[in-house]
Amino acid sequence: MAALLEHESQIFLDLFHQDGLVICARGLGIDRLLLRFLRLYCEPASLVLVLNTSPAEEEYFIDQLRSDGVVHLPRRVTNEITNNTRYEFYTQGGVIFATSRILVVDFLTDRIPANLITGILVYKAHRIIESCQEAFILRLYRQKNKQGFIKAFTDNAVAFNTGFCHVERVMRNLFVKKLYLWPRFHIAVHSFLEKHKPEVVEIHVSMTPAMLAIQTSVLDILNACLRELKRYNPALEVEDLSLENAIGKPFDKTIRHYLDPLWHQLGAKTKSLVQDLKILRTLLLYLTQYDCVTFLNLLESLKASEKAFGENSGWLFLDSSTSMFVNARARVYRIADEKLNQKGKASAKSDVKKENELKRELVLESNPKWEALREVLKEIENENKNSEDLGGPGQVLICASDDRACAQLREYIIAGAEAFLTRLYNKTFGKDEKAEEVWIKEKTAVKSKGNARPDTGPQAKKAKLKASSKQNKNKKQQDRTIIQMIGKTEEEKREEVEVEDNKELSSSQESSIEETIPEDFQVNLPSDCYYGIFKNPLTIIHPLQGCSDPYALTRVLHEVEPRYVVLYDAELTFVRQLEIYKASRPGKPLRVYFLIYGGSTEEQRYLTALRKEKEAFEKLIREKASMVIPEEREGRDETNLDLVRDVKPAYASTDTRKAGGQEQKTVQQTVIVDMREFRSELPSLIHRRGIDIEPVTLEVGDYILTPDICVERKSVSDLIGSLNNGRLYAQCISMSRYYKRPILLIEFDPNKPFSLIPRGSLNQEISSNDITSKLTLLTLHFPKLRILWCPSPHATAELFEELKQNHPQPDAETAMAVTADSEILPETDKYNPGPQDFLLKMPGINAKNCRALMDHVKSIAELVTLSKDELSKILGNAANAVQLFDFIHLTYGEALSKGKIKR
């Protein structure tokens, strides 16, 4: 592991000496800091738990520690480790990664030696809200262990920008007193990174006139949609919904935050506007990210789908929209006919007729950034020729936003812009066979004139296509090293060069084809993430986002050690990562080429992200200055009220009628909870109310409140799903059979409306498929079943406490023994369930008289022998007795003739 940098050592020492929450700027190496703490505690003498890490992150940390020569590597607790060996597993010490669900259960059942825990490290601490599992674990830990440490890390300062006193609430849930803020503008960070600055070449690429016109059109339409949205919903007049924010990434989350609670009250117009905003943001992204053909394809598909559905919110009819279509088509093709050329715009505005469509002349505008990238690669190639004093040619890493952009860049560098765009055009728009034929005829005609502008060598192109499709297949193969992969690419390129002497390939590429790779140089990288181009010098294209491994790019950076990094797309975190990378390798040169479209939404998006983070830190600094933190915050003694579990209000008066107001002996309340329920926040809230929780695996019900009360909890989505597939019916049968008071609890999300059906979807006709119809049938089938409607988990916890009052406590052994087909029945239920169900289906028998009948009659065989008078005596109702008697004794013919007489 590389030694910690100056500011990192300072953060480490601060946090080591006093527990707290560290908030770092993005990309400043919060993972390096956590890694240092993991390394410190990787020994059998300590037991440290790590919360909130994903499996991919755990894998990365373990790999890093392994390569660092750590003997006692961190271990993972999974379901595979049986319950009885779990205590032993924990007592072996070291660092342990565990899911929050397992830890909660282990703390509650004392399978984990809480008093032996050295401390807890919390990653991504901005997510620790009061009712989440991690907060529950920390509370249980602090109740049982007053000495251990709690250290929390996060690099998401913007998350603390929402809500009132967000950072203070998170610190309260973490039981920490200190807040450490390390923004990029912190004097220690700034001065240190200034000393080790990489050489940065900023290239502001200017967009083509057509691209600029399209961008202006999309922004106009976006603005119009936002204005319209605010006109329909005056409550949305907030600064968050501005045009600047609309082009940023987190905008979808922002708009959901405002609209989710009242989504069911919104009209169709508002909903379609929200959808349009999403589409327009995608268009902006495609414009700068991909090529002209991909962009036009998306636009045309939008128009086609709008036509197909016949519904349109209106933006397609705006002037800006028309100009956008004209410019997008002009980037790909122009209409070849002379007359049409004079009226080019008019013809493009209207849907071009089939005949005209056949006379397209391809323009295929190249992406300006591609040209810039080619220039950069040429410059690097020239520098690499004279690089003896630097120890040979430097490796090159090109970073683009996602997989698709990387694949396009790779094909562009290998095949050239024209070949690539032509292939893409044929694949996307060449589906109409007639258009194909005419296009080929035109092409041959143009060739015979000696002007090879539209396209060169269809045969060669086909060969190239085959090769590129082969490469695409190769990309998907996981088990190959980067070297084998690039070696394969070279063979394919050799085939291509034999087929066609491609002028577009630069000399270095051609020479690199002949060169072989040194035997001793092996780089083993995850092969689904990168695209190798040349092997000498090694040139790799890698996506910034969308990798299965979040640290894929970090691994590539440290294994390949590039001398040149080309940022095809700007991304804040990676820019900072490069600064840290350069600072950790003093004396080694690093040049970063920063390609960005000047005056584009891409540039604006990057600047907005920077500004937002800076503002978030400034707000945190102000909050820290005025924050009042109670002395007992860390919960190391008994004075912290957050650790008190009894929620009896202070103003609750004592009842003097009961023994003159003496304190009554209270029985400790217990609730039995199914293991699977620990994914929800309800167990945490029940525990907070002073009720003990026994986690066991239940087959019938989710919560057992008393020996008689069994609760099946359903969220709204879960309720709809289990009503549709019949699972709920089976669950209700089991609950009604084994418990006197079965309850179906329907729990709503507190952030969403407390209504099962949106107001707009109430029809006059009631269908049997409606949720309400199915719930009605359920209550008719199970008269004992009670339904509880709860607006939030907090309300549920309160309700559970009230339901348990003055009732005996449930027994876990008994609850576990009840299974869907067990014969162990409650004391009162002495009857065979099969015939009992059969009896209830007979005419004249209902839930009220069923018990009386079973008390008097031993079996169905005996029931058949009873007379009408005897039945009416037992059932207490002559009409019911006649119905039942007729059902048993009448033949089909008699019943039929009786029915006729009745008619």
Task: Please identify which residue in the block is written with the tokens 């807040």.
Answer: 179
Query: Within 10 A of 360 (CB to CB), how many other CB atoms are there?
Result: 21
Strand order from edge to edge, sheet including 149-154 = 75-77, 94-98, 47-51, 119-122, 149-154, 20-24, 178-182
pLDDT at 858: 81
CA distance linking residue 123 with residue 58, whole number of Å: 11
Contact 383, 201 (CB under 8 A): no
Burial of 293 (0-12, 13-18, 19+ CB in 10 A): buried
Helix (H) or strand (E) holding 685: helix 682-688
Contact 33, 22 (CB under 8 A): yes
Residue 875: which of 851, 840, 842 has the closest Cα? Answer: 851
pLDDT at 474: 37
Cα radius of gyration rounded to whole Å, the chain = 35
Q: How many residues does the chain have?
A: 903
pLDDT at 313: 63
Query: Within 10 A of 169 (CB to CB), how many other CB atoms are there?
Result: 15
Task: Give the torsion sign (CA, 605, 606, 609, 614).
Answer: negative
CB under 8 Å to 882, separation ≥6 — which residues? 844, 868, 872
CB under 8 Å to 406, separation ≥6 — which residues? 400, 530, 531, 541, 542, 543
pLDDT at 441: 55
Contact 256, 279 (CB under 8 A): no
Question: Can you give 629-662 as a three-state secondary structure string?
Answer: CCCCCCCCCCCCHHHCCCCCCCCCCCCCCCHHHC
Residues of the chain scoring pLDDT < 70 = 1-2, 131, 237, 264-265, 306-313, 336-359, 431-535, 646-665, 758-765, 820-833, 899-903
Task: Give the torsion sign (CA, 95, 97, 98, 103).
Answer: positive
- The predicted-structure confidence for 319-364, as pLDDT tens digits, reads as follows 888 899 899 988 888 876 544 444 444 334 344 444 444 567 888 8
| CA atoms lying within 13 Å on the CB side of residue 443 | 13
Helix (H) or strand (E) holding 216: helix 209-232
Instruction: Please tell me what DSSP assigns to residue 310.
Output: T
CA distance linking residue 479 with residue 764, whole number of Å: 60
Task: Give the torsion sign (CA, 302, 303, 307, 311).
Answer: positive
Residue 264: which of 792, 767, 721, 752 has the closest Cα? Answer: 752
CB under 8 Å to 549, separation ≥6 — which residues? 56, 59, 60, 526, 529, 555
pLDDT at 564: 92
Burial of 480 (0-12, 13-18, 19+ CB in 10 A): middle
Task: Tell me if residue 549 falls in helix, strand or coil.
Answer: coil
Count of H helices and E strands in the chain? Answer: 39, 21
Peptide bond into 537 cis (omega under 30): yes
pLDDT at 148: 92
- The predicted-structure confidence for 733-780, as pLDDT tens digits, reads as follows 889 888 989 999 999 888 777 777 766 566 666 777 778 888 888 888
CB under 8 Å to 343, separation ≥6 — which residues? none
Helix (H) or strand (E) holding 592: strand 591-597
Contact 629, 595 (CB under 8 A): no
CA 219 to chain centre: 28
Residue 329: which of 303, 358, 363 has the closest Cα? Answer: 363
CA distance linking residue 620 with residue 120, whole number of Å: 24
Instruction: Please tell me what DSSP assigns to residue 526.
Output: -
Burial of 315 (0-12, 13-18, 19+ CB in 10 A): buried
CA 851 to chain centre: 52
